[in-house]
Amino acid sequence: MGKGRGYNIIFMDSRVLYGCIIAIAGMLVLYVIFLIVQSLLRSRFTADPSADRLPYTLPELRDMHAKGLLSKEEFEKLKQSLINDLNKPMERKDKGR
C-alpha cells in the first residue's frame, strides 16, 4: 500500500464528513424557515385577543350561576353568547390588506 493511497482515503472521508455537515446545516436552515412560516400563518389565522369574546368558560359560568352570582336568564344569555362565539368561523387578521 503506497503513501498516496492512504491519503486519498482520509481525504475522501473528510469530504464525506463535510458533505454530511453541510447537509445537516441545510436541514436546520430549512427547519427554521418552516418554523417562521408556521408562526406567521398561525398569527394570521388566530383569534384577535382584543376581540369581543366572553372572558369566561362554560364551567366558570355554571359555577357563578350555582353560587347565585348570575340569574338563570343571565346564565342562559351568556351561555348562548359563548356558544355563538365558538361557532363563528375564525377570520383572518389581515382581511383589509
19 and 41 share a domain? yes
pLDDT of residue 92: 52
Q: Domain range for residue 65?
A: 48-90
Mean pLDDT by 10 residues, the chain (97 residues): 54 78 94 88 64 74 89 90 77 53
Strands (E), the chain: none
7 assigned to some structural domain: yes
| Relative orientation angle of helices 72-87 and 58-66, to the nearest 10 degrees | 180
pLDDT of residue 58: 85
- Look at the pTM and tell me if it is higher than 0.85: no
Alpha-carbon distance values, 34 to 1, 16, 30, 93 (Å):
49, 27, 6, 21
Residue 72 CA to residue 78 CA, distance in Å, equals 10
20 and 54 share a domain? no
- Among 21, 72, 87, 78, residue whose Cα is nearest residue 54: 78
